[in-house]
Chains A and B, each alone.
Chain A
């Protein structure tokens, strides 16, 4: 079995596009959550959201003019920016002509793709104008459009696919690529996920009344993971991408290694035992974390830090309880824990991949990025975790092992154990 390492990363997040800008934002607690007039006009309760500012990006660095023509799928824009940046960051070539790179694949997830393009198509079809749809409606709106765009741009000849598991999608994609390399079916896999922006993606969550309505005038303060005043998650969007590679190949190429994946696990609570379509079965969450730790051949005490799912709802308390139960650690023994959703909201299908990119940057920076807006840590959380373990600003700390988990609608869970690379 191959050891699997991360050799490249790219990101298109609400608080930063590209690793330098994103790292700077995370270090300094800069929020990417903003007020959107469009949401106000559409009478949304929550009129704030996280959206990457791609207006200043030269899209010709990523797409041909022909590819840009009629392109109206924000998830494709974000995913291609993050994916191509990650590939370049890994120092990997783009296959030009002839055979593809049979050893390189793509697992790039999404929840729903090309929503705005689909809206265009629906209007045309309803007007009896199906003949006017053009040739790219399908590729922009099929879920696997994002892996298809990336696989074609890079010339990947291994498995090219898209996974979808709600808010665990990004973390699941990483584990899928990891398994494929570990079992020697691929040498490199570009993994990640993207999520479209806009009212048609976020509207359903607003209707469920799980988004905060009291922060429209105060967007930076709105996403409050682990805080007593948390009142719901802020919808986000964007993409994160990582190049996973066998250790052997990475060493051969003399590539920069961000971290090693020690192991992980994916499971479901089956919507039983307290689990529902929208709430987790706690036993399943605990089992998922425990088996990820076992799979990594470490003990829970070796975990220095956790990047939680922690969406900033009242359920954050339950998540902390689950971590504490799974690891058998509490108070001062509990690892450091943070939630980057405080700075860019809940990027839905893109959440896991963007947050894993941020998690791994902590190894390189030898820092743990602070969680903003939790100055009033929830009293139930502070009975389980010593307050010193919840840094509110970035601290200098050299993590050796970090655990990352994501949970999603459908009662699905994913947990990965990352380690600083040890020769």
Chain B
């Protein structure tokens, strides 16, 4: 719950302002970007995600730093498990 997970925005959906498809180390899931409504991310941007919600926009460099921090903290697997858990019951998006 307290993990901040860096994710890359892959796809936005016209008419659905609060949903985005993101990718975290190859796993794609939908997250909510409603808390960034004042400065919404674009496809290709990086965000920090808490409990399925993007909380802040970050640079790619910061995202890689944060990923590295998660690995050093031994939390990268927990982070991936969390991301895989987003979208309970959603149709599978196919993982690469």
Decide whether A and B assemble into one complex: no
Which B residues are closer than 8 A to A by beta carbons?
A: none
